[in-house]
Amino acid sequence: MTFRTSGPFPPLILDDIRGAQKMLSGVARTTGMEGSRHLSALVGAPVHLKCENLQRTGSFKLRGAYVRIAGLSPVERAAGVVAASAGNHAQGVALASSLLGVRSTVFMPVGAPLPKVAATREYGAEVRLEGQVVDETLAAAQEYAEETGAVFIHPFDHPDIIAGQGTVGLEILEQCPEVRTIVVGIGGGGLAAGIAVAVKALRPDVRVVGVQAAGAAAFPPSLSAGHPVALGSVQTMADGIKVGRPGDLTFPLVQELVDEVRTVSEDELSSALLLCLERAKMVVEPAGASPVAALLSDPESFRGPVVAVLSGGNMDPLLMQRVLTHGMVAAGRYLSLRLRLTDRPGALAAMLATLSVADANVLDISHVRTDPRLGLTEAEVELHLETKGPEHCEEVASALRAAGYLVRT
């Protein structure tokens, strides 16, 4: 079966992806498939997680990068390769180049997370920090390619890249032949397009659902317009899918083969990350958690069995700390409130005893006596509490009110 691509490249066919799978044998891992009882209960059908977060370099990007670089001519290999990325593609290109004995230069934004910069260097690439945003970094890499003759390795818009990513689709069909819905995050569209080509050629009945972050959702307006449309700005913590314009090659494939593209909010991404960590014991980056976010937002709309692709696990520890806090807030697991009490010995201890009975964990407490708004015998306490969920938050606030405190949330 043949599917359309535009531009100077030949059509992408299933045999291209099968060839990529053979090329990747012994290079990329056949990542595992883990069942999720919690998500299965929500969806009302089996839900499996395709764990590309456990792939070498921590994401699916190695697959496409290796196939692309392995397909270069000896002359092109001798010139070296260059790429631009904030993290996952950078590491995929760096490792693939090292495995194939090709010199690689990777441009990364100045503010790229330090662990990703360090990992890219350790995989063997020369790293250059250029630009404040990825678009500036991309321009610097393309300028370098023109000046030096190095081959530019696009993160998603090349047939070899799409074919390499499509091997994820072949593995899903092999590991879960009964699958009825595949949910996958979309940035530029390389992974979704590759999976869709493989799956629709072999199982046209399987529904493929793409997921974008609401703050970087270029595909919905592009699909409405019938051609790639660039967003004026993009804003999301999900760096792996933070792309402002669909690819010229990936767009027609997504348009033809992906059944639906949904969007998820930052709160939904945070909640999905928290669920992956707590319930699945998986460290997943925001982009990788986007399919789980879609399942959480509307679980009954998916036909099962469902496979959700956890596309990456390269999570910056500092971002993880912020995101998990945000996720707990979104899930109703944190409660912040202020209350006034009589400024006398034992008053604070009595209030804390009330919280203890209510089974709330105090994370932080601020005790103010000198605010001019307070009466002579008053003190104000600001509390940050860890709770068990929205219902428990209300129970804690009610317990404090019942004890005679004026509570302000």
* Contacts of 82 by beta carbon, 8 Å cutoff, 6+ apart: 104, 105, 106, 107, 141, 144, 145, 148, 150, 151, 152, 153
β-strand 260-264 against 181-185: which pairing, if any?
unpaired
Active site residue 104: no
Among 97, 222, 271, 311, which one carries the catalytic annotation? 311
Indicate the burial class of 373 (C-beta count within 10 angstroms; 0-12, 13-18, 19 or more): exposed
CA distances from 143 to 19, 84, 404 (A): 32, 11, 68
Q: How many CB atoms lie within 10 A of CB 19?
A: 16
The single residue of 61, 116, 200, 242 carrying the catalytic annotation is 61
Degrees, nearest 5: CA angle 103-107-108: 135
Q: List, as one string, the DSSP characters of 95-108.
A: HHHHHHT--EEEEE
Dihedral, CA atoms, 234, 238, 242, 248, nearest 10 degrees?
-140
- CB contact at 8 A, 348 and 362: no
CA pair distance 72, 180, nearest whole angstrom: 37
46, 35 in Cβ contact below 8 A?
Answer: yes
Burial code (b: 16+ CB inside 10 Å, e: under 16) for 32-71 equals: ebeebeebbebbebbbbbbbbbbbbbbbbbbbbbbbbbbb
Q: Catalytic residue at 242? A: no
SS3 245: coil
Q: What are the catalytic residues?
A: 61, 311
